[in-house]
Chains A and B, each alone.
Chain A
């Protein structure tokens, strides 16, 4: 990330910010989509995050941290989008999945459907940790730092996310997975 661009944008240069946006928007959208599993919600989260990033940019002290900083804003935008749609997602979960189709055998497709259902049952906080760790490949310590949470919390969220997916694959009874406890 070009430090000079970040500094210029921080001083109010919209042209510099536009360049930055084009550099980061693809990965931000990819992350938002994978957290929310819905293209419309991911677009909204991306837009809100970019506008909020512009608004708050003067408060960014270390230009070298821009990328992590804007990811953090995005994840919080995903939290907001998730809250906004919580009322109808419960219904949607029962509908056929519209996730990306990939060539696969029938067993793999069944596994994938199970995984998708299990994934959507995870909390958005758990999904965020899962995506940052498994999609972006960030170590858990960096995930925790990016999200502003203790490392133990990040580890716990990932643990429960993986446990939820494992249960889906083994066909075991599916407890309602919540952070820090099983309800």
Chain B
């Protein structure tokens, strides 16, 4: 059994058995993670974005929401305002595209869930719309062959991004995410400033410097945005 040919056969018959189908749960989990994961930038295609979310992401979002609500119900209660007299029924706020939620001094888990859901719906609407428009611009970026053409595409992206960021800034997030939302808006503005620098460098014909700026700064900013999105299962917001 130990001559070369028989060893070859033994090796093949040894390695052949085993699973040939990937577990569906593992694939689904990866695809859920992809929904909140941003692609690395490449100056050939300067700004990356998401497409429409898939049902699997919504399932993950529901789980994440449940965790946030259960864990945050107590934390959300403003300090110094004990719930004297026990819990009272709070008006249920139906999910709505409008992000404006009436402040409640003692948000119940239902309130918190509704507020977060409303926030997600409003934010995702902005982000998904921008993402779809960005797919077209990314295709234009692929077709660009000179630094000046890249700069033109980036200029259009900056216009789109400015609109998107202003819309995000106009949202009224629930208390649970207000701080992180504000930081996210700042990150978006930082990204736009970064793109402005890159555009300037490209217009000067300094493609290598533009690429270096993108790599040095872009990843850090993107990862901060991405962490926020993953924490609350929000759509990727370019």
Contacts and interface: CB of A to CB of B under 8 A. Distances in A.
A22 B22 CA distance: 9
A37 B29 CA distance: 21
Contacts, number: 130
Contacts of B23: 29, 39, 43
Contact of A26 (B22, B37, B49): B22
A138 interface: no
Given A26-B21, A58-B45, A115 B14 contact: yes
Interface in A17-57: 17-18, 21-22, 25-26, 28-30, 33-34, 39, 43, 46-47, 50-51, 54-57
B40 A59 contact: yes
Given A50-B30, A58-B48, A134-B11, A33 B40 contact: no
A131 B15 contact: yes
Contacts of A26: 20-22
A15 B54 CA distance: 8
Interface in A152-183: 162, 165-166, 169-170
Given A12-B50, A34-B15, A134-B15, A169 B40 contact: no
B156 to A, nearest CB: 15
B41 interface: yes
B15 A135 contact: yes
A84 interface: no
Nearest to B136: A11
Nearest to B38: A55
A51 B39 CA distance: 9
Given A12-B131, A51-B37, A100 B2 contact: no
A11 B139 contact: yes
B183 to A, nearest CB: 22
Nearest to B134: A12
Given A11-B138, A15-B51, A170-B2, A57 B11 contact: no
A119 interface: yes
A10 B45 contact: yes
B33 interface: yes
Shortest 4 CB-CB contacts between residues of A and residues of B: A29-B22, A58-B42, A50-B30, A25-B22
